[in-house]
Structure 1
């Protein structure tokens, strides 16, 4: 109950657009006593919110700390299901681990795990994702898609299209997709997407779509190896971004893409992915568990595999490390 009061209180203060609201008006809108409003305002102040109180005028929100707590996300949500259930952690080893546990316990579709900091953030093939505190979006989304197991690779491509769309919409930066799970700006990695699932035979029990996005990281503070391959939205824009607003936009695009996929299939996702990929038409090297292949990246097939035209013919690549001349992203 206390959390829902806080959520509604912050929503009301944000909606007032920094104008004063009387304690009586806030009490009426939130649905609790003025004494309860005062108590929650004091708690918010202790967490870094600056709320001005003026006799005969009331309260107004002056400053919001950059947090991705539920009370900061909810006022911006435009979704039906995605992000409506949130587990928020100040610190965690990995949001993927927490999301797997929650999914096994019966978490609803669209539930998310979000953290301010990860100690063991996971990328593809067991790599560590650099996740410094309060600088990025470290999130895992739980899905329960009614699709065959063989279609699971579609979801990574769907997520990359949706996240790219949200980043480009809010920043107008030239975000490109690197197959299958990275987003690049000027050849450097700004986001990684990791899709994991649990299922048996041809049935999917649940899917966890994890993402790590470098939002407000100061690249100058990164280790040298990371500066060479990665970037952040703040570094590219020259200004910080409100993370909760961006997160809500990502969830809106993700839900829209997911519902469209369930209704219309993979073809629209495939087409948009190919338009936004920075790799098609380029000569690349794909290092797979079966060996390395060099050739021209042509398109995706209906299964989500990258078709590579080599001297030996067209090779479908399902999982690989991709290298090409225009890429400096490596793996973060």
Structure 2
């Protein structure tokens, strides 16, 4: 990756401070330590992570140099209840960046995955977002938001992996410039964070998230706070919550949970 170009293109944004390393344990862990020391907003990129993880501690590891593995340290003007909007903001920024750089249109599987949906309606994961907050008394102090985006994976993938995951190289038909992708992602995240900080902006984010949702309209099973709920995902709120309608037509708003799609999109 071209760190000089990234720094030049991001100068004047929240993410003018760019660090790129060959390898680390976890970019999220590194920036979480920096946040506790009072560091300013920045982005950290690694060619390889030894201990990258997803939600609920799931391991996320990619071939060295084949993915965009990065974390952003931000200090958003958000109340505690709105901290999860950072995940939505980064997810939307990633969708926009991918489409602008390599003309690939992905969907957003609530709450934190970017997926490719093929004609057989299989969701294949392309990226995952993990946001971890440092909270104050009534406001968010800092958020570390990380993303692992499959970019230039090898053309031949094991069958068991190809069934559930893919990369931008496979979808676009050619290699993708990771520096251009990083710059587009960071600038888009800067813009989406500004939207998250205002009520009008959150309404615009909801419209964008609904348009790109791979979950709304699907029958789903969601596990949250020790419960399991089955129903249809019918809406998103301005605050980024997903609305699930159960068999009794009761609607539930859920802020955090794991979702399994039970029904192919469009059927």
TM-score with structure 1 length normalisation? 0.73
C-alpha deviation, 1:103, in angstroms: 1.7
Judging changes above 3 Å, is the alpha-carbon distance between structure 1 residues 257 and 314 closer, same or farther for their aligned structure 2 residues? same
Aligned partner of 1:107 in structure 2 is: 39
C-alpha deviation, 1:302, in angstroms: 3.4
Aligned partner of 1:232 in structure 2 is: 167
Higher relative contact order (CA 8 A, sep 6+): 2
| Aligned counterpart for 2:128 among listed residues 167, 172, 192 | 192
SS of 2:163's equivalent in the other structure is helix
SS of 2:12's equivalent in the other structure is coil
| 2: CA distance, partners of 1:204 / 1:146 | 7
Aligned partner of 2:15 in structure 1 is: 83
| 2: CA distance, partners of 1:182 / 1:300 | 16
1:85-134 deviations in Å (ceiling 9; x for gaps): 1222111010001111122222222x011101001111011001122211
Q: Is the 8 A contact 2:48 2:69 kept in 1?
A: yes
Judging changes above 3 Å, is the alpha-carbon distance between structure 1 residues 304 and 260 closer, same or farther for their aligned structure 2 residues? closer
Q: Is the 8 A contact 1:121 1:131 kept in 2?
A: no
Aligned partner of 1:296 in structure 2 is: 232
1:244-297 deviations in Å (ceiling 9; x for gaps): 011101111111111233243411111110111012112111122332111111
Q: Please, which runs of 5 or more residues in structure 1 have no aligned partner?
A: 1-66, 328-332
Judging changes above 3 Å, is the alpha-carbon distance between structure 1 residues 167 and 314 closer, same or farther for their aligned structure 2 residues? same
| Aligned counterpart for 1:286 among listed residues 211, 215, 222 | 222
Aligned partner of 1:74 in structure 2 is: 7
Deviates more, 1:304-313 or 1:119-128: 304-313
| 1: CA distance, partners of 2:92 / 2:224 | 23
* 4+ aligned runs moved over 6 Å, structure 1: none
Q: Please, which runs of 5 or more residues in structure 2 have no aligned partner?
A: 118-122
C-alpha deviation, 1:70, in angstroms: 1.9
Aligned partner of 1:171 in structure 2 is: 102
Higher helix share: 1
TM-score with structure 2 length normalisation? 0.90
Q: Is the 8 A contact 1:219 1:227 kept in 2?
A: no
Question: How many pairs align?
Answer: 258
Q: Is the 8 A contact 1:91 1:115 kept in 2?
A: yes
> Please, what is the CA RMSD of the aligned residues?
1.9
Is 1:305 the counterpart of 2:241? The answer is yes
Aligned partner of 2:188 in structure 1 is: 253
Please show how residues 131-146 of structure 1 align to structure 2 within 5 Å: 131-146=62-77
